[in-house]
Amino acid sequence: MTKTLKIGNVETKNNVVLAPMAGVCNPAFRLIAKEFGTGLVCAEMVSDKAILHGNARTMEMLFVDEREKPLSLQIFGGDRNSLVAAAKHVDKHTNADIIDINMGCPVPKVVSCDAGARWLLDPNKIYEMVSSVVDAVEKPVTVKMRIGWDHEHIYAVENAQAVERAGGKAVAVHGRTREQLYTGKADWDMIRQVKEAVNIPVIGNGDVATPEDAKRMLDTTGCDGVMIGRGALGNPWMLYRTVEYLTKGELPAEPDAAEKMRIAMLHLDRLIALKGEAVAVKDMRKHFAWYLKGLRGAAEVKNRIMEVTTRDQVVSILDGYVAALESGMLEPGALSVV
């Protein structure tokens, strides 16, 4: 049976969520995630100050393709007035469905301006900030947070309760502390404790690398949805396979190299449409490395792609790679570059 997520007045078709990853979750990748069946996609975080300054790149980041909906747009900031003003802008001037507040970002430049994970130390600040945003907007407001600042300061339950009291409609919990960054193991038990302490939907995040992990997280924590981040990098099939596994109990086969390269090129072409060829080809280098991960002979292909600057060159490399794989002729130097 398909489980949906109901976040305020927004209902998703399943409970698989794409995490808001900086530098990754632009419309090109989000749309692929949506086409692969993801119930809710989240945009990469945007600074409240950058929204208020009308920064051109930031305004582009607020673009939502109708085909991506329902979509959650994430903002961050440490000052109540500017966060509220930015939320109002997202509420009135974008077609996002949900406004998400970031309380998990561990990077120093975010934390140092009293934003992101800095809030994890103060449930009262969380209540104050979230309630101010909730009062100012019509769209449902959600929060993405970590379980705590470090192992001495884990206030996940109190923080989630503050979000609920403030009128937040859901909370996503990454089972790591700020101190852990992306190392160590995610604490799913804390996610379970949060789920038991609040009545709003709880979305679990952290260490979901396979569809089986997703099911185990849902079963062991009781959370309402599962958020997939790094597991989907260069691998939207992870999202599709998870949806199929959770809804039908079926585990579709992994894609072959040709299929992976086909979607990688679709990703590139959408990025070109958004950013132009020169920027898109450069931006896609990291994505191609992820799409190629684990494939035979991938190291050489990655090295070649790092050096080229046009779509035609990328096509030539990838076509040559797939042909070499399929003919069993994959030898060092078998890949040509125009």
Catalytic residues: 105
> What's the CA gap between 258 and 30, in Å, rounded?
21
Strands 6-7 and 10-11 turn out to be antiparallel
Tokens 């600057």, located at residue: 309
3-state SS assignment for residue 5: coil
Inter-axis angle of helices 236-248 and 211-221, to 10 degrees?
A: 50
Give the DSSP per-residue string, 178-243. TTTTT-S---HHHHHHHHHH-SS-EEEESS--SHHHHHHHHHHH--SEEEESGGGTT-HHHHHHHH
Amino acid present at 327: S
* 250: Cα separation from own chain's centroid: 24
> What's the CA gap between 155 and 30, in Å, rounded?
31
Give the DSSP per-residue string, 28-77. HHHHHHHHTT-SEEEPPPEEHHHHHTT-HHHHHHT---GGG-SEEEEEE-
- Residue 201 to residues 68, 224, 240, Cα–Cα distance (Å): 21, 6, 22
Amino acid present at 81: N
- Residue 259 to residues 28, 234, 236, 253, 262, Cα–Cα distance (Å): 17, 12, 11, 12, 5
Cβ-based neighbours of 333, under 8 Å, separated by 6 or more: none
Beta-carbon neighbour count of residue 291 at 10 Å? Answer: 27
- Count H helices, E strands: the chain? 14, 11
